[in-house]
Amino acid sequence: MTKQEIEKNVELIKEISGCDPYKCMRCGKCSGSCPSFNEMDIKPHQFASYIINGNVEELVSSKSLWKCLSCFACIERCPRNVEPGKLIDAARQLVERERGGDHLQAEDIPELLNEDVPQQLLVSAYRRYRR
Amino acid sequence: MQRIGVFVCHCGSNIAATVDVKKVVELVRYEPGVVFADDYMYMCSEAGQEKIIEAIKENKLTGLVICSCSPRMHEKTFRACAEKAGLNPYMVEIANIREQCSWIHKDREEATEKAVILARAAIAKVNLNTPLQEGESPVIKRALVIGGGIAGIQTALDIADAGYPVDIVEREPSIGGRMSQFDKTFPTLDCASCILTPKMVEVNQHPNITLYTYSEVEGVSGYVGNFEVQIKKKARSVDMAACTGCGECQAKCPLGKMGKIPSEFDRGLKNRPAIYMPFAQAVPAVPVIDRENCTYFKTGKCGVCAKICPSKAINYEQEDEIVTEKYGAIVVATGFDIINLDKYGEYAYNESPDVITSIELERLMNAAGPTGGHLERMSDHKQPKDIVFIQCVGSRCDDEKGKPYCSKVCCMYTAKHAMLIKDHWPDTNVTVFYIDVRTPGKNFDEFYRRAVEQYHVNYIKGQVGKVIPQPDGSLMVQGVDLLDNKQIMKKTDMVVLAAAIEPNKGVRKIATMLTASIDNNDFLTEAHAKLRPVESPTAGIFLSGMAQGPKDIPETVSQAGAAAVKVVGLLAKDKLKTNPCTAKCDPMFCNGCSTCANVCPYGAITYEDQLVRGPGVNETRRVAIVNIALCQGCGACTTACPSGAMDLQGFSNRQITTEVDAICQ
């Protein structure tokens, strides 16, 4: 990614998630809640700093992107309203947008079903994407 | 026509960096009424003030406009300076070109233009200013302290020792507050009761202190130096003069054994009878009957306490009593509580009796507490072998559940708890999950390090996500170790939550009665965060203890002393100067509609029949009269008056509209 692309993607993640990563105080309550913690390479409490430091490429190519169950425990419990679950969800959207264009139709969903993609991801993607 | 002098201050570079001061001087020089204009580096300095005095004398100035910082900062200074030169101090107006101009703008041209506009408005106003005379009001040499915790106790003792009478109003049956619930105090580990009870006794015996316990402030009127306060003494149902505090009634109350009423003092970990003293060293040592729970009051049957009382002190007929007392100054020391944990379902506080708050732990470790100081789980009364502390529960939050501030005392009391547990029961495994350990203060960090180095308390940087009660009675703690980047699943016997501190619920009602301002978190606001930290912006109201913000005992005691000095400084004066900017009614326009009296927060407006004479009018009618001793110049009546009869001296409707005109020129 070029510098411009990184900046664009950081802005996009902030916009899609509606979250401010700068609010994170690194308390770790997200990582202390996450049921997929052990399978993740980048841990939930690191999401915010990856975005702040522009390490979007690592984030979108991480295992964590597909290991997040969208259980929303971190969103529910985050004391700072950073809501790491929404940040990683937004990062996933970046990938999904690249893949499927800018719109998601209900009839496209069966095609997208595969073992690695949690069903909740599709539900939240559909919620955000239908126009 | 006034002869006005305009003085523009550079305030070093504070104003001059953004506002072209010289240009302002040149532009305002030709405003109507202005006969002199100049600028100076620091107008408030000795030399700056000399310059003003000289200019007043040389140019025979009748009015001044100072373009400088906020009037809250230096209005007094410049008024005094004008007075020195023989000018009426109320002929001075401040154009705030610092806080409201240079500090908030970046563009030099725009800021300069705005500074000129603000100066013009002030000049237009001074043209209509009239000299005003300050009145005098007497000072009632008695103080009121609301709240009888360590903050209120210390404030009252310091005021009383200085020779002034002081009353304490305490909502609970005994003084002592939160501190009386604590076991030990950091960082020296002295026992809280041992250092507090002597002070409580001193308060009770001090000839200058009157105690109103089980009482609440019901109404406040008046102003600095002359407050009138209604205190509701709730019916104790026990004659305070007759009762010897023997405790027979508490021991015999049938409800005591039934265990239905949770003790507030023991945070619900123990039950109490319907007639009770909160704790053994209560001051005054006189019980109260909790009428909501007492069988006699509910059904008319029982009366055991009255039958067995050897001093015949029980009086079921006693009624609430309202005492009205006058005070010169009022100190708010209403203290704190911890937040309600209902919203933190993940920590299972409402699910498991073995998840407790730190105040509950204080009670459990207190020799006078529900377990006699023996640490045990509330579920099976077994001694816990493994304890987990969770820090920052509701503190430092930016969500709707918690508080945005640091509660300040939790890091220290948790280190204290951890060490006390390790000291009494060395084979207990103690873990603390923390976000940051914050221990500024004398001997504080050393104290925390002792917990780690000497007592081997396991401090883990990271927060707990969930506490899951297990079928075998233990608790599973799911948390994270951020430094090792590992998730932790840990079985434990007891979880202690460091719940965020919040101001006592009653403070809102009291602040409203006193017209004392509170912040977004309901903490009382200081008159100046740095320079007037123990005064409320409302004159005559002072702040002490946690009601103003989170703080520990040493800080509370220091602040209590500071508040007492401010009170004594006020009470030492025989007379106070009163603000001459009061409301005035023009009887020609007043039709006696009572709108102004209804909005007046100080009760300063009354009505009387007056002979009104003027062009085409010659009749006796009901008109408003303002008591200038009570009027605080808030201006509510002037905006409410439908006929424009009410006007505020120094801020008349004409002056304000002229200012607006000058701005819109």
Give how far A9 is from chain B: nearest CA, Å: 25
CB pair distance less than 8 Å for A32 and B479: yes
Yes or no: say if A45 and B484 are a contact pair by the CB < 8 Å rule.
no
Task: Enumerate the residues of chain B whose CB falls inside 8 A of the CB of residue A81.
Answer: 398-399
Predicted complex ipTM: 0.82
Give how far A24 is from chain B: nearest CA, Å: 10
> Could you tell me if residue A131 is inside a domain?
no
Task: Enumerate the residues of chain A whose CB falls inside 8 A of the CB of residue B396.
Answer: 25, 27, 79-80
d(CA B431, CA B418): 8
Report pLDDT for B603. Answer: 81
Q: What does B97-109 look like in DSSP terms, one character per residue?
A: -IIIIITT---HH
Q: Write the pLDDT tens digit of every residue in A4-46.
A: 999 999 999 999 999 999 999 999 999 999 999 999 999 999 9
Lowest-confidence pick of A116-125, B347-356, B369-378, B643-652: A116-125
Report pLDDT for A129. Answer: 60
User: By CA distance, what is A74's nearest residue in B?
Assistant: B465
Task: Enumerate the residues of chain A whose CB falls inside 8 A of the CB of residue B399.
Answer: 78-81
User: By CA distance, what is A82's nearest residue in B?
Assistant: B398
> CB-CB: which of A25, A33, A43 is closest to B485?
A43
Task: Enumerate the residues of chain A whose CB falls inside 8 A of the CB of residue B488.
Answer: 32
Q: Is B378 exposed, middle or buried (0-12, 13-18, 19+ CB in 10 A)?
A: middle
Domains along chain B with CATH numbers = 4-126 (3.40.50), 143-225+323-334+509-571 (3.50.50.60), 248-308 (no CATH), 337-502 (3.50.50.60), 583-648 (3.30.70.3270)
CB pair distance less than 8 Å for B463 and A28: yes
Report pLDDT for B208. Answer: 98
Residues 43-102 of A with CB under 8 A from B: 43, 45, 73, 76-81
Q: Which residues contact B412 (CB under 8 A, 6 or more apart)?
A: B186, B187, B439, B441, B444, B447, B448, B552
Give how far A87 is from chain B: nearest CA, Å: 17
Query: Nearest-5° angle of CA B162, CA B164, CA B165?
Result: 135
Residues 4-23 of A with CB under 8 A from B: 23
Mutate to test the interface with B, among A24, A29, A42, A83 (most CBs of B within 10 A): A29
User: By CA distance, what is A79's nearest residue in B?
Assistant: B397
CB pair distance less than 8 Å for B463 and A32: yes
Q: Please, which residues bridge with residue B357 across strands?
A: B497
Q: Write the pLDDT tens digit of every residue in B51-64.
A: 999 999 999 999 99
Report pLDDT for A130. Answer: 55
Interface of B to A at Cβ within 8 Å reads 346, 392, 394, 396-399, 401-402, 433, 435, 461-466, 478-480, 482, 485, 487-488
Q: Which of B347, B344, B354 is nearest to B473 (CA)?
A: B354
pLDDT band, very low/low/confident/very high, at A99 (cuts 50, 70, 90): low
> CB-CB: which of A23, A25, A32 is closest to B465?
A32
d(CA B604, CA B625): 8
Structure tokens at A22: 């700068």
To the nearest whole number, what is the mean pLDDT of chain B?
Answer: 95
Task: Enumerate the residues of chain B whose CB falls inside 8 A of the CB of residue A73.
Answer: 465-466
Lowest-confidence pick of A109-118, B505-514, B540-549: A109-118
CB pair distance less than 8 Å for A26 and B482: yes
> Could you tell me if residue A123 is inside a domain?
no
d(CA B501, CA B525): 17
d(CA B269, CA B366): 12
d(CA B46, CA A110): 82
> Could you tell me if residue A57 is inside a domain?
yes
Residue A104 pLDDT exceeds 70:
no
Mutate to test the interface with B, among A20, A23, A25, A27 (most CBs of B within 10 A): A27
> Could you tell me if residue A110 is inside a domain?
no
Task: Enumerate the residues of chain B whose CB falls inside 8 A of the CB of residue A86.
Answer: none
User: Tokens 């373009």 appear where?
Assistant: B67
For residue A88, what are the domain limits?
A: 3-102
Q: In terms of residues, how long is chain A?
A: 131
User: By CA distance, what is B468's nearest residue in A?
Assistant: A33
CB pair distance less than 8 Å for B482 and A31: yes
d(CA B469, CA B278): 32
> Could you tell me if residue A55 is inside a domain?
yes
User: By CA distance, what is A45's nearest residue in B?
Assistant: B482
CB pair distance less than 8 Å for B480 and A32: yes
Q: What does B438-507 look like in DSSP terms, one character per residue?
A: ---STTHHHHHHHHHHTT--EEEES-EEEEEE-TTS-EEEEEEETTTTEEEEEEESEEEEEEPEEE-TTH
Report pLDDT for A102. Answer: 54
Yes or no: say if B341 and B183 are a contact pair by the CB < 8 Å rule.
no
Report pLDDT for B206. Answer: 98
User: By CA distance, what is B344's nearest residue in A?
Assistant: A77
Q: Phi then psi for B638, rounded to 5 degrees?
A: -70, -35
pLDDT band, very low/low/confident/very high, at A131 (cuts 50, 70, 90): very low
> CB-CB: which of A23, A31, A76 is closest to B487?
A31
For residue B530, CA distances in Å to B8, B331, B448, B526, B541 come to 26, 19, 29, 9, 17
Helix, strand, coil tally for chain B in percent (to 5): 30, 25, 45
Q: Write the pLDDT tens digit of every residue in B202-248.
A: 999 999 999 999 999 999 988 899 999 999 999 999 999 999 999 99
Query: Nearest-5° angle of CA B14, CA B16, CA B17?
Result: 75
> CB-CB: which of B461, B463, B485 is closest to A29?
B463
Percent of chain B with pLDDT over 90: 93
Report pLDDT for B222. Answer: 86
User: Tokens 């002190």 appear where?
Assistant: B313
Q: Write the pLDDT tens digit of every residue in A51-81.
A: 999 999 999 999 999 999 989 999 999 999 9
pLDDT band, very low/low/confident/very high, at A100 (cuts 50, 70, 90): low
pLDDT band, very low/low/confident/very high, at B436 (cuts 50, 70, 90): very high
Yes or no: say if B480 and A45 are a contact pair by the CB < 8 Å rule.
yes
Whether the CA torsion B474, B477, B478, B483 is positive or negative: it is negative
Structural domains counted in chain A: 1
Give how far A79 is from chain B: nearest CA, Å: 5
> Could you tell me if residue A122 is inside a domain?
no
Instruction: Name residue B469's amino acid.
Output: P
CB pair distance less than 8 Å for B465 and A31: yes
Report pLDDT for A118. Answer: 78
Report pLDDT for A103. Answer: 61
What pTM did the predictor assign? 0.86
H-assigned helices in B86-149: 108-126
CB pair distance less than 8 Å for B482 and A23: no
pLDDT band, very low/low/confident/very high, at B615 (cuts 50, 70, 90): confident
In the A/B pair of chains, how many CB contacts fall below 8 A? 71
Cα Rg, chain B, nearest whole Å: 31
> Could you tell me if residue A114 is inside a domain?
no
The domain that holds A36 is classified in CATH as 1.10.1060.10
> Could you tell me if residue A80 is inside a domain?
yes
CB pair distance less than 8 Å for B480 and A28: yes
